[in-house]
Amino acid sequence: MTEQQSNPKDVELENVEEVVEAVEGELIDDSAQRIAELEAALAASEAVVSGQRDAVLRAKASEENIRRRAAQDVEKAHKFALNKFANELLPVVDNLERAIGAADLENEATKVLVEGVEMTLTSFTAALEKSGINQVDPKGDVFNPELHQAMTMIEVPGAEPNTVIDVMQKGYEMNGRLLRPAMVVVAKA
């Protein structure tokens, strides 16, 4: 046999190899297409999971903010529940102070009465302080419009400008919050 003549087995083997190459090519094409489809599906799934993770984190943060705000509201309610009641009691303190200021300390008949009013005022202010209510008595301090209400300004020799020289009515604050500003007289420049 010559080289050009082929063995039928060789021809069959070549056909089989061609068929195998063709099948492998299709398998590789199918596999590459399938891999691309799976990668696209995976990317879509990862995007959904990422979006859901963000939504869960936002919901968790929102819940935490609501919980924190509720706790702050409860704390403020406890802290400032007495606000209206305290404002109603402040004129009582003012009247007791006026009574002591107007009393005749030289008269023996009223001396015991004045002492009783002083003791009442002392116990009353102590009870207010226990509740977090403190006096704002700014005499001699620099005028602060956040704590004081200027009733008038007068020239006073030797006094620093914008200094409180007299307190007409004491102010009060409750737990750091102003209940009533102090009514003051301020020195003019």
pLDDT digits (tens, 9 = 90+) for 77-88: 877 777 888 888
Residues of the chain by 3-state class (helix, strand, coil), percent to 5 = 60, 15, 20
Task: Name the domain count of the chain.
Answer: 2
Do both 53 and 118 map to the same domain? no
Do both 46 and 94 map to the same domain? no
Domain boundary among 24, 54, 80: 80
DSSP secondary-structure letter at 103?
S
For residue 182, the surrounding DSSP H or E stretch is strand 182-187
- The two tokens of residue 131 are 């509740």
pLDDT in tens, 126-142: 999 998 899 988 988 99
- The two tokens of residue 15 are 């056909």
Do both 136 and 91 map to the same domain? yes
Do both 94 and 62 map to the same domain? no
With beta carbons less than 8 A apart as the criterion, state whether 181 and 149 touch. yes
Q: pTM score, two decimals?
A: 0.58
Do both 56 and 137 map to the same domain? no
- CA dihedral defined by 134, 140, 146, 151, rounded to 10 degrees? 110
Domain boundary among 24, 51, 80: 80
The one-digit pLDDT tens for each residue of the chain (189 residues) are: 444 555 655 556 666 677 777 666 666 777 778 888 899 999 999 999 999 999 999 999 999 999 999 999 888 887 777 788 888 899 999 999 999 999 888 888 888 899 999 999 999 999 999 988 999 889 889 999 988 999 999 998 888 888 999 999 999 998 888 999 999 999 987
The range of the structural domain enclosing residue 59 comes to 1-80
Residue position matching structure tokens 């009353």: 124
